[in-house]
Amino acid sequence: MSNAETPLSEPGLLAVLRARIRREGPLRLDTYMNICLADPEHGYWNKAHAIGADGDFITAPEISQVFGEIIGLWAATTWQRMGEPAEVRLIELGPGRGTLMADALRAAAVLVPFLAAVRVHLIEISPALRQTQQRVLAAAGLAVSWHQRLAEVPAGPAIVIGNEFLDALPVRQLVFGEGGWRERTVGLDSGGALRFGQGEVVAFQGHAPPRPGDVAEIRSGEDVVLADLEKRTDPVMAAFIDYGPAYAGYGDTLQAVRRHAYVDPLSAPGSSDLTAHVQFGPLADKARAVGFAADGPMPQAEFFGRLGMVERAARLMAASAACASQIEGAVQRLLAPTGMGSQFKVLIVRSPQLPSPAPFA
């Protein structure tokens, strides 16, 4: 069967969803998302081909090598500001195909003592993506450890990178209407097709007085990540890079992407990338509430601009005239003030005894 003839949906996953809904009733949205993304047999995250020009979406490290290189140099200077510990855990959450980490380690090699101190740890639940990461990082010459979750990484000073990780954590949605806030659910219509619905009224205090139809999104996975960071007894510096607003707001930001186009989140479960925007202001508040310091959020264009992305790209263009136009276009895409440069933000969460890293310092 050709790719064109391959059905988009995973019948097994749709059958799983139908059976569970018929057994338990409509599912909360975050439960639905988790099944679609992480089901061990049919979940979307088990598909290594999802990322890249030939997949469903493309991330910043796949757009330009400069992105990962700047992150690597940032990590090296951050290690220096941490006091140059003899060992440092360089942790990436949801490392995709391993492109960012490969570019980061290559660039950081200019600081030999840092590379000697680095212990690489990748948080990845997808067996298919782990295999891809192993191939991509084989040339780095460093031992790499894989884990299911952040809490499994051994103790020690840590630098954590989360690029487009938080947006993939499932969200609950509450819809305001008559009687208060109601849980958005996924159920079945009379023909067995998936459909959105609303459940019982739930207790919820929003950030501002709501209007009928307002949607509040709650991402408990952020709390899990912060709790795992909080349990670490050694200093930690975490950089979260993602898209979303700087401040709290109401709105339905759930989106599904397949083959670089937006699709219905209920169509072909398991065959599209499901995400929702990150609300950076509330995330920073939660980090501070559990004892961390937080810097930002800062627009991606400003963060990488201050760290020398344009200058680094210029050096690459000078060294490879044949690729100069491609390099320039890729960096412009990352820094575009009306696109990724403003839509994506950077938030630093750090142990309070650590100084603010560049470019916040």
- Residue 4 has a pLDDT of 37
- Residue 322 has a pLDDT of 80
Q: Counting every residue, how long is the chain?
A: 361
- Region 55-75: mean pLDDT is 93
CA distance linking residue 170 with residue 275, whole number of Å: 7
Residue 248 pLDDT > 60, yes or no?
yes
Q: Is 83 left (phi over 0), alpha (psi -120 to 50) or beta?
A: left
- Residue 12 has a pLDDT of 84
Tell me the CATH architecture of domain 52-170+219-244+279-350.
3-Layer(aba) Sandwich (3.40)
| Per-residue pLDDT tens digits for 301-315 | 999 999 999 999 999
pLDDT top residue among 318 and 155: 155
Helix (H, G, I), strand (E, B) or coil at 115: helix
- Residue 49 has a pLDDT of 67
Longest alpha-carbon distance in the chain: 64
Cβ distance 66 to 309 under 8 Å?
yes
- Residue 45 has a pLDDT of 87
Domain borders along the chain are: 52-170+219-244+279-350
- Region 41-59: mean pLDDT is 78
The CA-atom distances, in angstroms, between 186 and each of 36, 70, 172, 183, 198 are 12, 41, 11, 10, 8
| Per-residue pLDDT tens digits for 223-234 | 999 999 999 999
